[in-house]
Amino acid sequence: MASIVGKRQGNRTYYYLVESARVGGKPRIVSQRYLGPAEEIIARLSRTGPGEPDRSRHLAFGDIAAVWAMLERLQVAAIVDEVVGRRRVDAAVSIGTYIALATLNRVTDPCAKLSFADWWATTAADRWLRVPAGALDHRRFWDAMDRVGATELAEIERRIVARMVEVFEVDLSGLVLDMTNFTTWIGSANDRAPIAQRGHSKQKRADLRIVGLGLIVSTDGGVPLVSHAYPGNLPDVTQFAAMVRELAARFRSLPGADGELTLVFDAGQNSADNFELFTDTALHFVGSLPPSDHPDLLAVPKSRYRVVDKARFPGLTAFETTKVVFNIERRIILTHSKTLHDKQSQGLDQTLAKAHRQLSEVADRLARGRTRKARDQVEAEIAGIVKPRWLSQVIVTTLTGQDPTDLRLTWRTDPTARRALEDELFGKRVLFTDKTKPSRAVIVTDYRSQEACEADFRQMKDPKVVSFSPMFHHTEQKIRVHVFYCVLALMIARLMVREADRHDLHLSVRELLDTLAGIQETVLLYQGDRGRPRARRMLTETNPTAQRLYDLFGLNTYAPTPPQPPRPPTKTT
């Protein structure tokens, strides 16, 4: 039973919220909370009185705290400081802390270092990480980055990955290698960043210099294990050897890497020199070959195909043989997927429809005699229209006449040629491997795990979270550091998703971070008659999913301490 009891001390009465209960058959006070004198209680109950907050602030908490918890579990700051060495005794923040802060920002809300201090002010992180305002100046970040060279970056990544494998028990048996590139805004006259070059931009920006990035990730969660930055004008295949050697050297001593390791990659990495690497390492591989380069395999009749695994891979059949590939006889598995076949057929329909419209426009223009182009120019225009993949095999064009006014175009789609194309090529992949014992289903599973690396690259091109951009560095050394903490941010995000997935919370990176970001910290400010306002901090209400993530990542460690009730005045003698 609760009641309010007043206690007289001197000339004033102080009130308490008291709860009573029977203990051993006798009434006893079991809980007592101090409320204060009458005027304070009235002020708190008044909507406009001094007991109400004058204003409030909302700070980012959930995503910031969860990412920082992961950085601490991986000991990122400590590892960086061990490798690079701590800064001067009078320095406000260590180099490792700067790298951790940059990673934290990349995961949650990527921004330029020039805007870092403004972003930091919107978070609650200053409660558990005291960083002087001057230490967040963009020039201090650049000074720290200058201390981390390429050799140090490689050693830091090795140690962090070793710590990650130990703490999170990541399965290393399945590995995927892939490469991509990222656009930069570095000027053409800048000669301080030779790593940024013009090449084949996968973001379709031929006008910008690009930086290449290769990743080896685990199929267990898509967690990055090896990263390799390289000049954007170099073909991907030329970087394969360096990554495989680093992989072999790095994982000899790692726990969980003493078993069989399988590296999966696409046909873009194929070369005789690259495959010689596997004879000197304990690595196995699963790769693919361009189907059009092996017409003898494509000619195998469908009657020789067998179902791979009806439950796991519906509609997938395969034919198995051996063949000499890059000077060594390898196991070959030729697969046919009905799903892939249908998608390629639909894609061809769309490409044909576009070509039909363009050819019709050319034919109509020629029929009206409204062209001044010579015959060779019109032929070049037609060749450009039917240039896309497979069109020239199924579209038959006839151009008559010599003078521009006499030119006429007729065209048609050959259904027989299309059927032959679909029967020969559509839905087929040529897989090859040095693994002789695993079943076809296992090899197919290995090959399809490439999605883990492709998903990582898509994530790094997400402009909102875990993003490579924006990048405003203009020297090679700083670009390499930028690449390092972007990959580290991806590692953190993938580990978080993996942890949530293991607790039956199946969320994407964006969904997980958005849910955590919904846990905010509210600061209530009470302004007295004089002096600085008094602050009271509390967290916003959470939904069930957010609460489970709160518990999973141990956010209570970083949550604001609940306000203690005011102490009653003490008697003076």
Nearest to 295 by CA among 423, 208, 414, 458: 423
**Residues whose CB is less than 8 angstroms from the CB of residue 376 and which lie 6 or more positions away in sequence, other chains included:** none
C-beta separation of 421 from 352 below 8 A: no
Residue type, 342: D
Is 151 in a helix, a strand, or coil? helix
Q: Residue 526, Cα to own-chain centre: how many angstroms?
A: 41
∠ CA 57-509-112 to the nearest 5 degrees? 60
Query: pLDDT band at 369, cuts 50/70/90?
Result: confident
Q: Is the pLDDT of residue 114 over 90?
A: yes
DSSP track, 415-472: HHHHHHHHHHTTTEEEEEES--SS-HHHHHHHHHTTHHHHHHHHHHT-SSSS-S----
Average pLDDT, the chain: 90
Q: Is the pLDDT of residue 119 over 50?
A: yes
From 408, 438, 468, give the residue that closes a domain: 438
Answer whether the bond into residue 470 is a cis peptide, omega within 30°.
yes
Is 58 domain-assigned?
Answer: no
Q: Is the pLDDT of residue 180 over 80?
A: yes
Q: Is the pLDDT of residue 48 over 60?
A: no
Is 98 domain-assigned?
Answer: no
From 11, 35, 52, give the residue that closes a domain: 52
Is 339 domain-assigned?
Answer: yes
Question: Any alpha helices (H) in 34-182, and if so which ranges?
Answer: 38-45, 62-73, 76-84, 95-108, 116-120, 138-146, 150-168
C-beta separation of 554 from 511 below 8 A: no
From 415, 438, 461, give the residue that closes a domain: 438
Read off the pLDDT of residues 231-254 as tens digits, 9 standing for 90 and up.
Answer: 999 999 999 999 999 988 888 766
Read off the pLDDT of residues 65-81 as tens digits, 9 standing for 90 and up.
Answer: 999 999 999 999 999 99
Percent of the chain's residues with pLDDT above 70:
93
DSSP track, 214-266: EEEEETTT--EEEEEEEETTS-GGGGHHHHHHHHHHHTSSSTT-SS-EEEE--
Read off the pLDDT of residues 371-386 as tens digits, 9 standing for 90 and up.
Answer: 788 999 999 999 999 9
Residue 49 pLDDT = 45
Split into its structural domains, the chain has a count of: 2
Residue 565 pLDDT = 46
d(CA 487, CA 213): 10
Query: pLDDT band at 564, cuts 50/70/90?
Result: very low
d(CA 521, CA 87): 32
Q: Is the pLDDT of residue 142 over 70?
A: yes
Q: Tokens representing 46?
A: 């008044």
Domain housing 38: 1-52
Is 427 domain-assigned?
Answer: yes
C-beta separation of 208 from 232 below 8 A: no
d(CA 237, CA 271): 8
Read off the pLDDT of residues 196-218 as tens digits, 9 standing for 90 and up.
Answer: 999 999 888 888 999 999 999 99
Q: Is the pLDDT of residue 5 over 50?
A: yes
Query: pLDDT band at 492, cuts 50/70/90?
Result: very high
Percent of the chain's residues with pLDDT above 90:
72
Nearest to 237 by CA among 286, 271, 275: 271
Q: Which of 99-103, 393-397, 469-473 has the lowest mean pLDDT?
A: 469-473
d(CA 141, CA 471): 14
Q: Is the pLDDT of residue 47 over 60?
A: no
Return the number of other C-beta atoms located less than 10 Å from residue 62's C-beta: 28
Read off the pLDDT of residues 155-177 as tens digits, 9 standing for 90 and up.
Answer: 999 999 999 999 999 999 899 99
Mean pLDDT score, 407-421? 94
Is 509 domain-assigned?
Answer: no
Read off the pLDDT of residues 299-354 as tens digits, 9 standing for 90 and up.
Answer: 999 999 999 999 999 999 999 999 999 999 999 999 999 999 999 999 999 999 99
Read off the pLDDT of residues 273-305 as tens digits, 9 standing for 90 and up.
Answer: 999 888 877 789 999 999 999 999 999 999 999
Return the number of other C-beta atoms located less than 10 Å from residue 86's C-beta: 13
Is 309 domain-assigned?
Answer: yes
Residue 87 pLDDT = 72
